[in-house]
């Protein structure tokens, strides 16, 4: 074996993508010391996305002070890749870790995310990837839009920066003041969910409670996002209400489309394109991927399937190393997965299994490579 690509997702709550890559690489080199092992830690758009991209392709982290979820000053950052693409993770300016247990989603803003975007554009980045995930907000991205010069006026014709509880006060939206540094900038928004903006599967109902919204507030936030969509359609001519992914990160998915003309794209496709995965596949003998659990939901286009579809085109074997295997996953083989191996070696509850997951991953890799080396 001469060349192997490693591109696993994290095993949520147990191992990061980078940790998994390190364990896999060590196991491979124990049997194939001269193998060229290329590790590509996967970013899903949430917290840690910038670090994952920088680890995968190199680049630098830029630190600046921006407004946090409650308009307080916070130290934040974005990444700049070698090709001058910027990577912004909204969690770095509007994430749940920045509010701790003080969760008032109705008052939270994405203003700081807009400041990160503006700084990246002023620094000369002509392509900006915005990762959605882990947000403390439900403002439909209007905070970020306001930071970038878009004007929101209430019914008294006064300009203001709306938050989740005041979206209902928006009477008009004027994008003529959008900062000119964004002219010619390409936006790609990493979005791994397909929730619409409103309704039972919308941003407020599905994600509001984990951000501090009670039942009554969820209804208000949902109505307010619906109102925002109505004004967006009236003033900007864009329909984001039922757009798949519009409800991501408190409606930030819809906001990126409405205010910045962004493309919404599955996180894994963004990663694969950014690291030039198709080119890296040339000459590869095998690709190893994985996730915490492979099940029927994996077929919606998460990491394993996203990678498998690319390897299938080039007829390169793909092995998925996973924490657990669910029922009814046979369709993944048609997508390009060659084989699946679970690292679970003994039947124990997850709370016990996660304590030994790194050792179990190493042992599973050793078992697989021991067999493979016999067939060479």
Task: Please state, in angstroms and as integers, the Cα–Cα distance from residue 312 to each residue in 35, 37, 39, 101, 285, following that order.
Answer: 22, 20, 19, 45, 13
3-state SS assignment for residue 367: helix
3-state SS assignment for residue 262: coil
User: What per-residue confidence (pLDDT) applies to 133?
Assistant: 86
* CA 39 – CA 6 distance, rounded (Å): 5
Spell out, as residue ranges, where the chain has pLDDT lower than 70: 44, 300-301
Contact 259, 150 (CB under 8 A): yes
Calculated CA dihedral for residues 138, 141, 142, 144, nearest 10 degrees: 120
Residue with tokens 């970038």: 148
* CA 43 – CA 138 distance, rounded (Å): 22
pLDDT digits (tens, 9 = 90+) for 188-220: 999 888 899 999 999 999 999 999 999 999 999
Residue with tokens 């002219």: 183
The Cβ of residue 315 has, within 10 Å, a number of other Cβ atoms equal to: 8
Q: Please, which residues have CB within 8 angstroms of residue 265's CB and are 6 or more apart in sequence?
A: 188, 189, 190, 191
* CA 197 – CA 238 distance, rounded (Å): 13
Closest by Cα among 3, 7, 84 to 272: 7
Angle, alpha carbons 204-127-83 (nearest 5°): 135
E strands present in 40-80 = 60-67, 73-80
**What is the length of the chain?**
376
* CA 159 – CA 179 distance, rounded (Å): 17
Q: Please, which residues have CB within 8 angstroms of residue 156's CB and are 6 or more apart in sequence?
A: none
All structural domains of the chain: 3-40+298-375 (3.40.50.10350), 49-267 (3.90.1510.10)
User: What per-residue confidence (pLDDT) applies to 301?
Assistant: 66
* CA 131 – CA 163 distance, rounded (Å): 20
* CA 124 – CA 86 distance, rounded (Å): 9
* CA 301 – CA 158 distance, rounded (Å): 44
DSSP assignments along 100-120, one per residue:
TT---GGG---HHHHHHHHHH
Contact 260, 187 (CB under 8 A): yes
User: What per-residue confidence (pLDDT) applies to 144?
Assistant: 98
pLDDT digits (tens, 9 = 90+) for 20-44: 999 999 999 999 999 999 999 887 6
* CA 122 – CA 78 distance, rounded (Å): 13
Q: List phi, psi (to 5°) of 265.
A: -140, 145
Q: Please, which residues have CB within 8 angstroms of residue 345's CB and are 6 or more apart in sequence?
A: 360, 363, 364
Contact 171, 164 (CB under 8 A): no
Alpha helical stretches, state H, 135-246: 142-147, 203-207, 215-236
User: What per-residue confidence (pLDDT) applies to 355?
Assistant: 81
Q: Please, which residues have CB within 8 angstroms of residue 75's CB and are 6 or more apart in sequence?
A: 63, 64, 65
* CA 41 – CA 11 distance, rounded (Å): 12
Tokens of 125: 């980045």
3-state SS assignment for residue 85: strand
Strands 73-80 and 85-89: antiparallel
């Amino acid at each position: 074996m001469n060349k192997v690509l490693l591109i696993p997702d994290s095993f949520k709550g147990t191992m990061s993508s980078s940790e998994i890559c390190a364990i896999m690489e060590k196991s491979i080199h124990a049997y194939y010391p001269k193998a060229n092992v290329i590790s590509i830690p996967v970013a899903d758009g949430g917290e840690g996305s910038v670090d994952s991209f920088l680890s995968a392709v190199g680049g630098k982290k830029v630190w600046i002070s921006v407004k946090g979820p409650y308009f307080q000053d916070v130290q934040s950052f974005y990444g700049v890749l070698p090709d001058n693409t910027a990577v912004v993770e909204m969690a770095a300016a509007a994430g749940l870790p920045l509010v701790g247990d003080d969760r008032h989603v109705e008052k939270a803003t994405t203003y700081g995310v807009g400041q990160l975007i503006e700084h990246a554009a002023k620094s000369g980045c002509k392509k900006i990837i915005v990762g959605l995930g882990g947000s403390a907000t439900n403002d439909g991205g209007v905070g970020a839009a306001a930071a970038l010069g878009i004007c929101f006026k209430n019914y008294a014709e006064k300009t203001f920066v709306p938050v989740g509880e005041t979206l209902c006060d928006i009477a008009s939206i004027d994008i003529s003041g959008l900062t000119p540094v964004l002219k010619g900038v390409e936006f790609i928004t990493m979005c791994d969910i397909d929730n619409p903006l409103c309704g039972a599967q919308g941003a407020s109902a599905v994600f509001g409670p984990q951000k501090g919204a009670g039942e009554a507030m969820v209804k208000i936030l949902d109505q307010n996002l619906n109102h925002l969509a109505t004004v967006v359609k009236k003033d900007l001519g864009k329909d984001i209400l039922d757009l798949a992914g519009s409800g991501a990160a408190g409606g930030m998915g819809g906001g990126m489309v409405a205010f910045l003309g962004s493309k919404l794209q599955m996180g894994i496709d963004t990663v694969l394109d950014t690291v030039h995965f198709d080119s890296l596949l040339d000459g590869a003998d095998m690709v190893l991927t994985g996730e915490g659990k492979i099940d029927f939901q994996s077929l919606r286009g998460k990491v394993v399937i996203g990678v498998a579809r690319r390897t299938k085109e080039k007829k390169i074997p793909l092995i998925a190393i996973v924490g657990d295997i669910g029922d009814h996953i046979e369709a993944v083989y048609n997508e390009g997965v060659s084989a699946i191996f679970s690292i679970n070696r003994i039947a124990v509850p997850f709370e016990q299994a996660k304590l030994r997951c790194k050792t179990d991953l190493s042992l599973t890799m050793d078992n697989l490579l021991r067999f493979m080396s016999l067939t060479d």
